[in-house]
Amino acid sequence: MYGLVGKFTAADGKRDALIEILLGGLKDMSGCLSYVVAADPADDTTIWVTEVWDRAESHLASLQLAQVQEAIGKARPMIAGMERLAETDVRGGVGFR
């Protein structure tokens, strides 16, 4: 399995709207086992995204989906920063489909 941990910094006052967009583009992503979007309780501009995929290729393919491309287009003006903090080799856990 393939995992990613990312950090988004929202433009001032845009965190909740950005979270809605990130969650809205999630349907029908083949190979996605887990996609968690979380607001940082200590910083009102930070969003944490943790993803688990069956393999890296599924993640790359998801970026080409129409709903993901649409979400990216809507989100881009609200993003002040973005970091890929870690790629991981997922070994298991709870909540997988």
Q: What is the rounded distance in angstroms from the CA atom of residue 39 to the CA atom of residue 46? A: 6
Q: What share of the chain is helix, strand, coil (3-state, %, to 5)?
A: 30, 35, 30
Contact present, 93 and 3 (Cβ < 8 Å): no
For the chain, domain boundaries: 2-89
Does the 2-89 domain belong in CATH 3.30.70.100? yes
- Whether 76 has a pLDDT exceeding 60, the answer reads yes
Predicted TM-score (pTM) of this structure: 0.89
pLDDT tens digits along 26-74: 888 999 999 999 999 999 999 999 999 999 999 999 999 998 999 999 9
Contact present, 50 and 34 (Cβ < 8 Å): yes
Q: What is the rounded distance in angstroms from the CA atom of residue 77 to the CA atom of residue 35? A: 22
